[in-house]
Structure 1
Amino acid sequence: MREPNNVLVVGAGPTGLALACALAAQHVPVRVVDRADGPSATSRANILHARGVEVLDRLGALGDLPEQALAPQGIAMHAQGRRLTTMRFAPMAEDSSQALFISQAQVEGELRRRLAELGTEVEWGIRITGVEQDADGVTVHTAEGPPLRADRVVGCDGAHSAVRQAAGIDFPGVSVVERFLLADVHATWDRDRSMSSGWFHRDGLVLAMPMRTKDEERNGSGDLWRLMADLPPSETGERLGEQQILDRFAELIPVRSGEAGPKVSDPVWTSVFRVHRRLAADYRCGRVLLAGDAAHIHSPIGGQGMNTGIGDAENLGWKLALVSHGRAGDALLDTYTAERRPLAAEVLSTTTTNTRLLVGEGAVTRLVRDYALIPLLGMPAMQRKATAAASQLWVTYRKGPLGGRTAKGGLRPGDRIPDRECRRDDGTPVRLTRALGAGWVLLAPDAAPVPELAAAARERLGAGVAVLHPGAGCPESGALLVRPDGHLAWRGSTAEGLRRWLAAALETGSVVR
């Protein structure tokens, strides 16, 4: 097998770091560069949904984030001076991964720790000015030094991606809300910190979410809050500094909530931003690929940005590793766009609709919101549905080029396999998520021709394919080949059938249906 080619990851946010961890764990030489001078200390995103937690667990990058996280129970929703309902988080008991209310800065810290364990450090202060492809690789020009050379480049450099622009990939979209205010503040406020709060008013909305610093107790004691509010259209042109943002919150909160606002003592971070919905026309242009906010941006309401980007990274990571090691053809990389872009389109559509409903532009929209939508969210069935939707544990690729459209009962190729108890050949118990790590798992019942199946898998995927046996109560019959991202690749009972699937998937990027 030939030596693996190197990959340059541009951007050291959660997406870029997760991708670098996935590649380094699979022994692909990887460099990570970022235009910033060093790690960001501001929180930015503040929730990691269940799918993101599961991915970090597989990458070995979850660390002590569950211990650092704050666990508010839901959001109290108010309108016209009264509390309408409480939307509670209702995770499914059978899912081992649950959402964490944790800052993006802390997530990035754990990913950098894991990346360092794998032998790679982020190179800071490198600004990309151009990207040129040729038959043998990519030349990346920088403002600070000589050009960088890589076999492939992945732009994880955010909404204003220099990589995307240099590659000429279109990024069409529309504005959803003209201007949002955001402030993370230490504040004295007589509010329950086990709950977030939302106030809906004819002039717009205000959201308040408790946040936790590293030195606070996990029970929510502390005084750090995130405040968010949209501005009326008449105010979308004025530039606002930190004190002006705090002054506007001091005015908006009493008007929209009917209550006294917090007494702010120490602002940590303030921002003014427009909410856009944009989706890259393609996630790949030759040797250049996109992931995370470089490929899709949408409303922060619902907290789907970090989750979706980390999912991009894991999906792309195992495919790039196979191609880099010479175990798969370039066509496999086309399945990345085919699998991840439809998901991003669905997330964008959902977050746009929810944002416009919550902001309440127009009297009819506000009536629907206050008397139909919000009361429904107080129902346990709707809370379970909303929590499940936000988790992204429902994601499936069964309609993609590596999926399976013929129903056989139970899981179909492309479906996520829920974490479960398995056992090794010697009977040692192990969870599926932990066993996957950076590799593949062949989950085979004792009655299957295990040696032949394992040999077929390892011929194409490498010696690192782990063989496990299902625990008690496993509903599937036959053997399951599980992808590194936890999705079902193949199910069957013969080594020849597995070889045919691997040949089609790895050589052509599409399986025979």
Structure 2
Amino acid sequence: MDPVIIVGAGPVGLALALALAAQEVPCVVLDEGAGEDEYRPARTAVLRADTAGFVERLGCGAALHEEGVRWNAWRAVRRRQLVHRHTFADAPEGVAGTGEARGHGHGLPGERDAAGRGSAGLGGLGRGAGRGPGEVTGPGPDANAAEEGVEGVPAPLHVPQHALTGALRAALAAPPAARLVRLVTESRVDALEQDAGGVSVHTRGRHETWWRGGYVVGCDGARSTVRKLLGIRFPGRTAVERHAVAMLRTELPWPGEAVLHRRPPWRSGGDEVSARPLPDGGWRLDWLLPPRGELVTPEALVSRIRETLAGWCGDTPAYELVDTGVYAVHHRLARSWRVDRAFLAGDAAHLLGALGTQGLDEGLRDAENLAWKLAGAWHGGDSPQVLLDSYEAERRTAVAARLRAADQALPALRSGGGLRTYLRGGARGLDALLADAHLGRGPLGAPPAYPLSPLTPMDPESAVEVGTEPGAPVADVPVTAPDGTAGRLRDRLGRSALVVLVAPGTGVWDRRHWVTAGVMPRLAETVRALPVAAELLVTEAYPGAAAHTVLLVRPDGHLAAAFAGVHPDALRTAARTLRGGAPDRQGSETPEEASVP
């Protein structure tokens, strides 16, 4: 079959090419630019644990580390319980500095600094100058390995976007991607045609020619040419939020920690300001601007910087201003994400970013979701149309839910009125909701689940409930392969489905014994005969799962099904459903009981 054509060489397009190459699918990436990434330190991205893990599995960890990003920070973190310290976040001026801070949730009661100001935080308080009321802090995305996550959630990773794109390009130049991916620069798409056998894409510029492919994916941004050529509408809201941003080098009182400060006392700085650490002593500062305010002049931005630093540090410390910008957040969702052999991903399919939601996160999830499905269809499948249709069914539904949650929360979070219509707990709930969005929890930030996916078997007779619902991301438990290779479950994702046996005691048993004991031989034989490529793994325990539970995990890390014991017929049926085949009634054989392990 002809290669997959990817239009756009931003992070989403490059990640998709790498994910397809890992599954032996050739690609052509058409880049309108010259193949060089503009150095813009103020243009950064926040990656949650799942998308950071995806990028790392693509082979980008070492390259990002060389750029100064401490890549393993989010994976090596210890856990910290939520400490939410709050004092009159929305109190009138003159009242906020006099109240007693009170804690809620888990953790310590609030503290007050020398000036008597309370603080609201997610831990790590008490160092340097005191924080003001309404301030929420968390572990820094680029903190060292000793920094802690919150309530079991690894700290997000904060990455300069040029560093991320450079790392992806470097991975494309290395095997096996170098053999399978062709990156074509200075080539702008201006025509697209489809037929029963594939797609034809015409470019002008350096390479004025037609390109033939089996499928085409538009990863060409908010002004997507592919989307326009397909005639897909892109409705939504313009300028939902506006932000001023500055990248500077300075010393702040909380090294390695990200800070979100709502309604700071120096109100001329705006209603919300955040700071995130970057490599080499850098910080990115973001100020929420009025939706339709005046232009932000260089003088006004410098005034904001000095005022904010003075508010945090007591006086304005020395700083070096490196880069600035002003950007607007739009909320848009393409009406459809697939037209026959053409697909949309990333900003071409959706725009979001208000209240801490992350558009690049969702774009990378698009790439991870689509890659294994395109690979399955490219290599041949029983029912590729169902498999390919599931991309839009899953991803568009998930992004629509994220946009809906943000739209519902915006009136409460930004207007200061009507809060109890949306949240319980008043301002405390407000801070918690916003913190969830930034930390990657709840409806605004948590990784999506696909409970209604057409790839999920419907009520199999032998299914069993575990701590993960079908369609939700699996827990990252330690696993061992039959050859003795040990690691984490999420490190094995991407190339095939995973079949995981919960087998207590395998950590202390000699591998030579347990690989041939109990249900292992029968399960291994079943896995080899599945209609999808699958890897067999063993774990000592999985949340909510009894001994001898068998999990079927999708290549993108979502649970397809869980079974009470080894049911070959049920597992085969679930695997057929996973590849887009029509589900049928599960077999009713009695599960084989396991004496060992």
Label 1:288 to 1:469 Cα distance change in 2 as closer, same or farther (>3 A): same
Provide the residue aligned with 1:39 in structure 2.
Answer: 37
Provide the residue aligned with 1:425 in structure 2.
Answer: 482
Query: Quick one: which of 366, 375, 391 aligns to 1:321?
Result: 375
Question: Residues 25-56 of structure 1: CA distance to partner in whole angstroms, max 9, x if unpaired?
Answer: 00000121222222232253431111212222
> Is the contact made by 2:412 and 2:418 (CA closer than 8 Å) also made in structure 1?
yes
Question: Residues 301-334 of structure 1: CA distance to partner in whole angstroms, max 9, x if unpaired?
Answer: 4142111111111110000000000134222100
Query: Quick one: which of 98, 101, 106 aligns to 2:163?
Result: 106
> Is the contact made by 2:402 and 2:443 (CA closer than 8 Å) also made in structure 1?
no
Alignment of 1:97-496 (within 5 A): 98-117=155-174, 118-119=177-178, 120=181, 122-144=183-205, 145-177=208-240, 180-186=242-248, 192-193=254-255, 194-200=257-263, 201=267, 204-213=270-279, 216=280, 222-231=281-290, 233=292, 235=294, 245-251=297-303, 259=311, 265-273=320-328, 275-328=329-382, 329-360=384-415, 364=417, 374-376=427-429, 387-389=440-442, 394-404=447-457, 406=459, 408-410=464-466, 411-444=468-501, 446-447=518-519, 449-457=522-530, 460-462=531-533, 465-472=534-541, 475-476=545-546, 477-492=548-563, 493-496=566-569
Of stretches 45-54 and 333-342 in structure 1, the one that deviates more from structure 2 is 45-54
Q: Distance in 1 between matches of 2:185 and 2:286?
A: 30
Question: Residues 388-424 of structure 1: CA distance to partner in whole angstroms, max 9, x if unpaired?
Answer: 3389555321222122564732144323211111222
> Is the contact made by 1:183 and 1:267 (CA closer than 8 Å) also made in structure 2?
no
Q: Distance in 2 between matches of 1:281 and 1:18?
A: 24
How far does residue 190 in structure 1 lie from its aligned partner after superposition?
6.0
Measured on the aligned residues, the alpha-carbon RMSD in Å equals 3.9
How far does residue 486 in structure 1 lie from its aligned partner after superposition?
1.0
> Is the contact made by 1:396 and 1:414 (CA closer than 8 Å) also made in structure 2?
yes
Amino acid at match of 2:170: R
Q: Distance in 1 between matches of 2:163 and 2:584?
A: 40
How far does residue 114 in structure 1 lie from its aligned partner after superposition?
2.3
Question: Residues 77-109 of structure 1: CA distance to partner in whole angstroms, max 9, x if unpaired?
Answer: 9666652234244846656x5421222222222
Say yes or no: does 1:85 pair with 2:134.
Answer: yes
How far does residue 271 in structure 1 lie from its aligned partner after superposition?
3.3
How far does residue 6 in structure 1 lie from its aligned partner after superposition?
1.0
Q: Which runs of 5+ in 1 are unaligned?
A: 217-221
Q: Distance in 1 between matches of 2:476 and 2:57?
A: 11
Of stretches 109-118 and 442-451 in structure 1, the one that deviates more from structure 2 is 442-451
Label 1:169 to 1:269 Cα distance change in 2 as closer, same or farther (>3 A): same
Question: Residues 448-481 of structure 1: CA distance to partner in whole angstroms, max 9, x if unpaired?
Answer: 5223312222xx224xx32212225672544222
Provide the residue aligned with 2:506 in structure 1.
Answer: none
How far does residue 337 in structure 1 lie from its aligned partner after superposition?
0.7
> Is the contact made by 2:345 and 2:366 (CA closer than 8 Å) also made in structure 1?
yes
Q: Distance in 2 between matches of 1:509 and 1:399?
A: 15
Label 1:195 to 1:337 Cα distance change in 2 as closer, same or farther (>3 A): closer
Say yes or no: does 1:498 pair with 2:559.
Answer: no
Provide the residue aligned with 1:59 in structure 2.
Answer: 58
Decide which structure has the larger Cα Rg and report it. Answer: 2
Amino acid at match of 1:55: F
Q: Which runs of 5+ in 2 are unaligned?
A: 75-79, 97-131, 139-147, 504-517, 587-597
How far does residue 191 in structure 1 lie from its aligned partner after superposition?
5.5
Amino acid at match of 1:316: L
> Is the contact made by 1:393 and 1:416 (CA closer than 8 Å) also made in structure 2?
no
> Is the contact made by 1:88 and 1:378 (CA closer than 8 Å) also made in structure 2?
no
Q: Distance in 2 between matches of 1:503 and 1:320?
A: 16
Question: Residues 306-365 of structure 1: CA distance to partner in whole angstroms, max 9, x if unpaired?
Answer: 1111111111000000000013422210001111111101211233344554443xx636
The alignment of Structure 1 onto Structure 2 pairs a total of residues equal to 487
Provide the residue aligned with 2:118 in structure 1.
Answer: none
The structure whose RCO (Cα within 8 Å, separation 6+) is larger is: 1
Q: Distance in 1 between matches of 2:528 and 2:251?
A: 63
SS at match of 1:397: coil
How far does residue 180 in structure 1 lie from its aligned partner after superposition?
2.0
Amino acid at match of 1:469: V
Amino acid at match of 2:551: L
Of stretches 58-67 and 163-172 in structure 1, the one that deviates more from structure 2 is 58-67
Q: Distance in 1 between matches of 2:325 and 2:30?
A: 26
* Identity, % of aligned positions: 29
